[in-house]
């Protein structure tokens, strides 16, 4: 047993404090006075050996009295040696004064905490110990709870602020994030500075009234102003608190932006819904509990054959006398009273005795009942007509050019028509012995079975598709399948009704058309299909949409006249006629969407497609050809002028490398005096240009490319790229060279910068800690960074060229949740989180698409981030949340949460824990519907106790008092209550912990009896001491009198006097 500091706010009282030791020692073992609320009692002699050990000590320690008495405290509890507990016992023995101190014992595997009172006696010490282990654990639990609450505030998804003296003195991280202000910018500033001007008066008024103690709404909505001047709609949940011993307001700020947007969308949706209802073909009506109409749409008014005004001003019974005696009204009343949905068909007799049939769906709604009515009068008439036409149907069944069959749920054919027999090659009798599976190639069967499952589940009511069928002779043909069902009156499927149209020719045509379409779409020429009569464009390829600037949809709404200039349109009919008869090739002009005109060469001819005569025109934009022709003509006529205006340098040198001709660009570069100078005159630095160009002059090469540093006329050094071509005379002898030169100095510099940038990018790429790889459309890795290679313990060379799933997942095919697969399919960035077993870590995998020039996805950039730490944190937070939720029910005392209690105690419980349910015998649901007064008894003079507790709670202090609880069975339980103020669901509440003190009360009664016996003993002892004192005081003077009397008797003079007397 070791000592420690006393627990704060804990007092141990004793009626024996100050009692003289001999009196305490004179009491018998059964009469020893217990310290108030003590759990165990024992006595020790002067050497700290146990001389008395009560039953409670036996039960707590597990040590029987016979094994404890006579033993030293050091034997039973060795750790006592040198402890504060030992010092306290020795001090009590030495000073003869009681000692009160905390201590702790290791009893078995459990640590126990005690408050100990040691009283000196004649024989040694009487010790009272109160077990406060549970209190200690509760305090630790509350401390952890405070930490959890603090964490919740800091991690809250809502802003939380504290306002004191109209200043913001605290804001959590979410509030700073929401407002955009830093904590330093918020703290100490007037709260209204962050409120939109139109709400400042309201916020300030409520703040002041709340401080004044007025009951005002805690929740209301305002706009706050963010740092970027945005107005943010928020919901305020404010409450009064004590903060650092001063009144303050705490407010929870909930961002309402998304909610407001949702409200707006809801209002729009409601408006659309009401508009839809008003315009529905079915009748929609709402009837209230008083049988009056609350809502009618247009169709319902029409179906009633009355005016809307008369409908709204009368009950159903007034409008339709006797309706309450009909089956319809019985169903309406059943729905109204039992709140069950009903669907029925009803024949309605109107007041004018005409009949109408209606299909009714009756649903309970908050306002009463909602009736959706469909006028099926015509349908009923039609049903009768259908019965008449059924015979006609059977006659047609065998004559239509569609294969029709009826099959049961086992897929066996019940009936087939003649077309089906002819189509499949089987007789009607042979059909009875086969199923549709025998007619379906294997690759089409799985999809058919899947669709049939959906039919059986009611997910779809039919399905259709193009598929292949197997003929009896083994040949395969294409058919368009439509599968419906025949159901009974309850909607159960009885038969399948497959209908098949032979589309083999259509498929062949489509395949041919698809081939032509692919050719057309890949063609750089414009291809148009035209109606030969109207000139309307029926089809166009991709090149056409690009050439004319229209979308395909827009182009198909045009005619040939819309894309031809006005001055060419008169010849269109004749050109179409010639194209249809013999074909035609001509040049013309076409018009772009923006109005611009471009020349075209048109090749048109007639063609028959699907029995329709069309004009197919292949149109080539000859703008470039026209330009080339014009350029050629211009070059031919004005060669010198053109050469003079070419931006590149064009020059001629003779066989001695002397400039003989140069264009204007060359003169601007070298100067006007360049003619006659040798090329080397302009060389900068030593160079082997002549050596490189020698093959041109030797006749070994016709054309060569070289680069050379040349001096510009302003003296600046520039790099020129030269294409030199040999000039030969009619004998083939080289007489010089014609060269074209471009200044590539800036380009070279840019190339060097690009090389440098590429190097920097590569360094950055390899410096990123996340795994990065570039993967093509075939899942083949093209490049990786160092982090990727290091994670796999491979070099980049060993990785590149291998499949990503092979290395990352150690699988033979792509991972089931591979984001790269989704990116290839959607062209969008994809992200997924999963545990990668091969790497042993949690990862966040992100793939971003890589597009080619045609915007086709050719691969992705794959980033794999290790999120194991984050996942571990998330799991920890989840565990903490579960711990927090179980904490409430794990406390050993009963816990009740309720609002502040008025004098009449009329307030309901907000929350209770499992111990409270067990203590009172009610279920949790029962308790949450009960008031505080329902479980307590009235105690005389309760008001002062109530007011004292309320005062402590208002000062944010804990209030402790005792009450009597009444259980569900009527049993009364004395309890010790400890209450404190908390915030629950945004408002002030009281959390009360209740401990059953029935056993403690019994012990107190026993101790009271002992105290009364001790008082009697004390009074008797006092009388004895008084008598002894009086005797002592009388004896003292008598002793003197007797002594002097004896001396006087021995004196002669006194003897004479004695005798005379």
What pLDDT does 336 receive? 92
Least confident range of 35-49, 384-398, 947-961: 384-398
Say which residues have a Cβ less than 8 Å from residue 448's Cβ, sequence separation at least 6: 436, 440, 467
The average pLDDT across 349-364 equals 86
The average pLDDT across 149-171 equals 81
CA Rg value for the chain: 53
The average pLDDT across 718-727 equals 91
- Tell me the per-residue pLDDT of 977-1011, one tens digit each, with 9 for 90 and over: 888 888 877 788 888 989 888 888 887 777 777 77
**CATH for the stretch 519-621:** 3.30.450.20
Going by pLDDT thresholds of 50, 70 and 90, the confidence category of residue 144 is low
Least confident range of 404-418, 598-612, 626-640: 626-640
- Tell me the per-residue pLDDT of 386-430, one tens digit each, with 9 for 90 and over: 666 666 666 656 667 788 899 999 999 999 988 899 999 999 899
Going by pLDDT thresholds of 50, 70 and 90, the confidence category of residue 867 is confident
How much of the chain, in percent, has pLDDT values that exceed 90? Answer: 37
- Tell me the per-residue pLDDT of 463-484, one tens digit each, with 9 for 90 and over: 999 999 999 999 999 999 999 9
Say which residues have a Cβ less than 8 Å from residue 522's Cβ, sequence separation at least 6: none
Q: Look at 631 and 173; give whichever has higher pLDDT.
A: 173
What pLDDT does 439 receive? 93
447 has a pLDDT exceeding 60:
yes
What pLDDT does 36 receive? 43
373 has a pLDDT exceeding 80:
yes
What pLDDT does 1048 receive? 59
Identical fold between 280-380 and 768-873? yes
Task: Assign domain 891-996 to its CATH architecture.
Answer: 2-Layer Sandwich (3.30)
Least confident range of 155-164, 745-754, 916-925, 932-941: 932-941
Closest C-alpha to 51, from 126, 129, 128: 126
Going by pLDDT thresholds of 50, 70 and 90, the confidence category of residue 1029 is low
The average pLDDT across 949-974 equals 87
What pLDDT does 1037 receive? 65
Inter-residue contact 864 to 881 (CB < 8 Å): no
Inter-residue contact 871 to 973 (CB < 8 Å): no
What pLDDT does 1046 receive? 62
Going by pLDDT thresholds of 50, 70 and 90, the confidence category of residue 16 is very low
DSSP string of 109-152, one letter each residue? TEEEEEEEEEEE-SSEEEEEEEE-HHHHHHHHHHHHHHHHHHHH
CATH fold group of domain 768-873: Beta-Lactamase (3.30.450)
Terminal CA-CA length for the chain: 82
> Which pairing describes strands 159-164 and 246-255: parallel, antiparallel, or unpaired?
antiparallel
Measured CA to CA, the distance from residue 831 to residue 875 in angstroms comes to 21
Inter-residue contact 990 to 953 (CB < 8 Å): yes
The average pLDDT across 624-630 equals 82
163 has a pLDDT exceeding 50:
yes
862 has a pLDDT exceeding 50:
yes
- Tell me the per-residue pLDDT of 636-694, one tens digit each, with 9 for 90 and over: 565 566 555 567 898 999 999 999 988 888 999 999 999 999 999 999 999 999 999 99
Task: Assign domain 647-749 to its CATH architecture.
Answer: 2-Layer Sandwich (3.30)
What pLDDT does 653 receive? 94
Highest mean pLDDT out of 101-115, 478-492, 642-656, 753-767: 478-492
Question: Domain spanning 280-380: which CATH class is it, in words?
Answer: alpha beta
The average pLDDT across 268-275 equals 63
**CATH classification number, 398-502, choose in 1.10.3720.10, 3.30.450.20, 3.40.50.300, 3.30.300.130:** 3.30.450.20
The average pLDDT across 356-380 equals 88
**CATH classification number, 2-131, choose in 3.30.450.20, 3.40.50.300, 3.40.640.10, 3.20.20.140:** 3.30.450.20
- Tell me the per-residue pLDDT of 274-325, one tens digit each, with 9 for 90 and over: 666 677 778 889 999 999 998 888 888 888 888 989 898 899 899 888 889 9
Using CA atoms, how far residue 869 sits from 865, 872, 873, 917, in Å, is 11, 5, 6, 41
Q: Look at 1061 and 123; give whichever has higher pLDDT.
A: 123
Using CA atoms, how far residue 749 sits from 500, 713, 718, 743, 752, in Å, is 71, 21, 11, 12, 5
Measured CA to CA, the distance from residue 1032 to residue 1034 in angstroms comes to 6
CATH fold group of domain 154-261: Beta-Lactamase (3.30.450)
Rounded to the nearest integer, the mean pLDDT of the chain is 83
Q: Provide the residue ranges of all domains of the chain, joining segments of one domain with +.
A: 2-131, 154-261, 280-380, 398-502, 519-621, 647-749, 768-873, 891-996, 1005-1061
Say which residues have a Cβ less than 8 Å from residue 48's Cβ, sequence separation at least 6: 72, 73, 74, 86, 89, 124, 125
How much of the chain, in percent, has pLDDT values that exceed 70? Answer: 83
768 in helix, strand or coil? coil
What pLDDT does 940 receive? 45
Q: Which residues share a beta bridge with 1012?
A: none
Least confident range of 119-133, 331-345, 376-390, 482-496: 376-390
Q: Which residues share a beta bridge with 223?
A: 233
880 has a pLDDT exceeding 80:
no
What pLDDT does 18 receive? 36
253 has a pLDDT exceeding 80:
yes
1024 has a pLDDT exceeding 80:
no
Q: Look at 11 and 48; give whichever has higher pLDDT.
A: 48
Measured CA to CA, the distance from residue 894 to residue 457 in angstroms comes to 52
């Amino acid at each position: 047993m070791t000592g420690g500091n006393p627990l704060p706010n804990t007092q141990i009282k004793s009626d024996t404090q100050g009692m003289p030791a001999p009196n305490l020692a004179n009491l018998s073992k059964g009469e020893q006075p217990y310290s108030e609320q003590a759990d165990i009692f024992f006595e020790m002699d002067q050497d700290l050996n146990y001389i008395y050990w009560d039953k409670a000590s036996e039960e707590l320690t597990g040590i029987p009295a016979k094994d404890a008495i006579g033993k030293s405290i050091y034997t039973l509890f060795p750790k006592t040696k040198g402890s504060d507990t030992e010092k306290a016992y020795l001090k009590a023995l030495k000073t003869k004064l009681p000692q009160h101190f905390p201590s702790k014992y290791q009893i078995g595997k459990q640590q126990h905490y005690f408050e100990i009172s040691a009283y000196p006696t004649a024989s040694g010490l009487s010790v009272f110990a109160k077990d406060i282990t549970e209190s200690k654990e509760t305090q630790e639990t509350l401390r952890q709870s405070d930490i959890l609450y603090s964490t919740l505030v800091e991690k809250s998804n809502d802003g939380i602020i504290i306002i004191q003296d109209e200043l913001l003195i605290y804001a959590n991280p979410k509030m700073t994030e929401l407002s955009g202000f830093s904590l330093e910018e918020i703290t100490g500033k007037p709260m209204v500075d962050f409120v939109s001007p139109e709400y400042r008066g309201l916020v300030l008024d409520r703040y002041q009234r709340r401080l004044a103690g007025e009951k005002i709404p805690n929740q209301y909505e305002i706009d706050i102003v963010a740092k970027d001047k945005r107005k943010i709609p928020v919901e305020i949940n404010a409450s009064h608190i004590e903060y650092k011993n001063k009144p303050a307001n705490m407010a929870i700020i909930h961002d309402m932006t998304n909610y407001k947007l949702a409200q707006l969308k809801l209002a729009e949706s409601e408006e659309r819904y009401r508009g839809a209802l008003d315009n529905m073909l079915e009748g929609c009506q709402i009837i209230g509990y008083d049988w009056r109409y609350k809502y009618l749409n247009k169709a319902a008014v029409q179906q009633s054959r009355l005016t809307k005004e008369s409908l709204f001003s009368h009950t159903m019974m007034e409008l339709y006398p006797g309706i309450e005696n009909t089956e319809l009204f019985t169903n309406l009343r059943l729905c109204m009273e039992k709140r069950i949905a009903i669907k029925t068909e009803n024949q309605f007799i109107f007041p004018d005795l005409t009949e109408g049939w209606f299909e009714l769906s009756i649903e309970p709604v908050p306002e009463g009942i909602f009736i959706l009515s469909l006028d099926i009068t015509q349908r009923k008439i039609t049903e009768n007509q259908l019965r008449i036409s059924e015979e006609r149907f059977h006659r047609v069944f065998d004559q239509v050019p569609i294969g029709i069959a009826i099959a049961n749920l086992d897929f066996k054919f019940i009936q087939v028509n003649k077309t089906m027999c002819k189509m499949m090659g089987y007789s009607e009798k042979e059909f009875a012995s086969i199923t549709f599976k025998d007619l379906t190639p294997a690759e089409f069967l799985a999809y058919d079975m899947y669709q049939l499952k959906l039919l059986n589940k009611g997910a779809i009511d039919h399905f259709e598709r193009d598929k292949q069928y197997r003929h009896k002779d083994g040949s395969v043909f294409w058919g368009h399948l439509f599968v419906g069902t025949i159901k009974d009156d309850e909607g159960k499927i009885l038969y399948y009704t497959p209908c098949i149209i032979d589309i083999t020719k259509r498929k062949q045509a489509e395949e041919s058309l698809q081939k032509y379409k692919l050719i057309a779409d890949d063609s750089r020429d414009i291809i148009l299909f035209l109606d030969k009569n109207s000139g309307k464009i029926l089809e166009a390829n991709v090149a056409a949409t690009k050439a004319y600037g229209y979308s395909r949809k827009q182009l198909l709404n045009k005619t040939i006249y819309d894309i031809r200039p006005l001055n060419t349109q008169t010849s269109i009919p004749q050109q179409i006629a010639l194209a249809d008869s013999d074909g035609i090739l001509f040049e013309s002009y076409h018009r772009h969407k923006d109005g611009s005109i471009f020349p075209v060469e048109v090749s048109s001819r007639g063609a028959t497609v699907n029995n329709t005569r069309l004009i197919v025109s292949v149109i080539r934009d000859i703008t470039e050809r026209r330009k080339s022709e014009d350029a050629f003509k211009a070059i031919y006529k004005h060669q010198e002028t053109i050469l003079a205006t070419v931006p590149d340098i064009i020059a001629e040198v003779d066989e001695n490398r002397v400039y003989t001709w140069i264009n204007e660009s060359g003169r601007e570069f070298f100067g006007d005096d360049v003619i006659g100078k040798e090329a080397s005159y302009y060389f900068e630095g030593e160079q082997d240009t002549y050596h490189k160009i020698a093959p041109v002059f030797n006749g070994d090469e016709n054309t060569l490319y070289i680069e050379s540093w040349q001096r510009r006329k302003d003296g600046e050094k520039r790099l020129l790229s030269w294409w030199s071509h040999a000039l030969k005379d009619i004998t083939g002898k080289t007489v010089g060279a014609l060269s074209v030169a471009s200044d590539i100095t800036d380009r070279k510099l840019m190339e060097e910068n690009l090389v440098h940038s590429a190097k920097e990018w590569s360094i950055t790429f390899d410096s990123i800690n996340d795994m990065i790889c570039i993967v093509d459309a075939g899942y083949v890795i093209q490049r990786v960074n160092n982090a990727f290679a290091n994670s796999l313990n491979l070099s980049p060379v060993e990785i590149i060229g291998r499949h990503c799933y092979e290395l990352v997942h150690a699988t033979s095919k792509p991972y089931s949740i591979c984001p790269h697969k989704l990116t290839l399919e959607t062209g969008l960035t994809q992200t997924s989180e999963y545990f990668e077993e091969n790497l042993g870590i949690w990862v966040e995998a992100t793939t971003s698409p890589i597009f080619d020039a045609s915007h086709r996805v050719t691969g992705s950039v794959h980033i794999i981030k290790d999120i194991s730490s984050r996942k571990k944190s998330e799991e920890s937070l989840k565990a903490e949340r579960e711990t927090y939720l179980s904490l409430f029910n794990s406390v050993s005392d009963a816990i009740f949460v309720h609002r502040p209690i008025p004098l009449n105690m009329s307030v309901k419980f907000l929350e209770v824990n499992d111990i409270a349910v067990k203590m009172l015998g009610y279920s949790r649901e029962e308790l949450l519907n009960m008031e505080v007064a329902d479980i307590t008894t009235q105690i005389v003079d309760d008001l002062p106790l109530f007011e004292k507790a309320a005062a402590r709670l208002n000062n944010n202090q804990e209030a402790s008092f005792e009450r009597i609880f009444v259980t569900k069975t009527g049993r009364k339980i004395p309890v010790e209550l400890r209450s404190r103020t908390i915030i629950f669901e945004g408002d002030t509440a009281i959390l009360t912990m209740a401990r059953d003190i029935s056993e403690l009360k019994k012990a107190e009664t026993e101790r009271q009896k002992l105290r009364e016996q001790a008082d009697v003993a004390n009074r008797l002892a006092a009388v004895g001491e008084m008598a002894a004192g009086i005797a002592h005081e009388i004896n003292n003077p008598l002793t003197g009198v007797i002594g002097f009397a004896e001396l006087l008797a021995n004196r002669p003079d006194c003897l004479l006097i004695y005798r005379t007397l």
